[in-house]
Structure 1
Amino acid sequence: MVWSQWVLDRVIILMVGVAYLFIWVQVTLSHYRQNFHNKFMWGPVILALVISFVSIMSTLLNSKGWYTITHICFWLGVIQGLIGFLFHIKGVRKRVGGLALRNFLTGPPVMMPLLFSIISIFGLTAIYGG
């Protein structure tokens, strides 16, 4: 493997895969802490691991088929993040006082699902820009 021959989009997709591995750890710990009380909490846990694996494999194998799967997974990541954002806003709103600042500080992290989407958008930028 000669790194100097890698194009920028391939390196970005690899880094997105590594980022999703870290996101997987955080999402798993956060949702485990809440005892996965909603079945939809499993979505980002499973998808983050899948996106990480597929992204890393597509860069290491440099295959058109893997890039196609990666492309699909990144779009699923965008959708998953937006759905998670809605669930987190709903979780904040359920707390006593509704959408008060203190509930944003102590409730579900509203920005985390958006980060999930943004990382996928970063990967899609590499795919479409490359």
Structure 2
Amino acid sequence: MYHWVGWPLDRLLILFVALAFLLIGLQVTMSHYRQNFHHKAMWSPVVVSPLIFLSGLGLAVYPSAFFHYLFVFLLFAGVLTGMAGFYFHYRGVGVRVGGYASRNFLMGPPVVLPVVFLAMSALGLIAVYWR
């Protein structure tokens, strides 16, 4: 019952980020599977998400240098993945009939989801490096 007592905020944030990547990874996998992974870049968030989840969970439960460096490396990969995803999703909206019309933002690839991926990666980096 009292396993959480004494955990610093950064450790709780790392656990939160790890669990968030589990859910984001499920959503990204379903969305990209629905599109049949027609672009190789679609595999990046599908692969990176569970790795961030596992390394973050490991760091929260068993803080060690290995999990620390692995988590940080994967979070930087998450930032790059989010940036690339934003580019591909934004471009994907533009190539639809009608270009950047509001209906294409509603029906096309979700432009905000890669930003969420990037923001969660940044939150994880803040949790690791905040002093």
Q: How many residues align?
A: 130
Gap runs ≥5 in structure 1: none
1:109 Cα offset (Å): 0.1
Relative to the length of structure 2, the TM-score reads 0.96
1:60 aligns with 2:53: no
CA RMSD of aligned residues (A): 1.1
CA distance in 1, matches of 2:40, 2:69: 28
1:75 Cα offset (Å): 1.0
Match of 1:17 in 2: 18
Work out the percentage of aligned pairs sharing the same amino acid.
45
1:126 Cα offset (Å): 0.8
1:2 Cα offset (Å): 3.0
Task: Report the structure, 1 or 2, having the larger helix content.
Answer: 1
Runs of 4+ displaced beyond 4 Å: none
Relative to the length of structure 1, the TM-score reads 0.96
Gap runs ≥5 in structure 2: none
CA distance in 1, matches of 2:129, 2:13: 12
Match of 1:107 in 2: 108
1:90 Cα offset (Å): 1.0
Match of 1:99, SS state, is coil
Which residue type is aligned with residue 101 of structure 1? S
1:34 aligns with 2:35: yes
- Range that drifts further, 87-96 or 64-73: 64-73
- Per-residue deviation, residues 66-113 of structure 1 (Å, max 9, x unmatched): 111111111111110000000001110110011111110100000000
Match of 1:4, SS state, is coil
CA distance in 2, matches of 1:64, 1:6: 18
Match of 1:45 in 2: 46
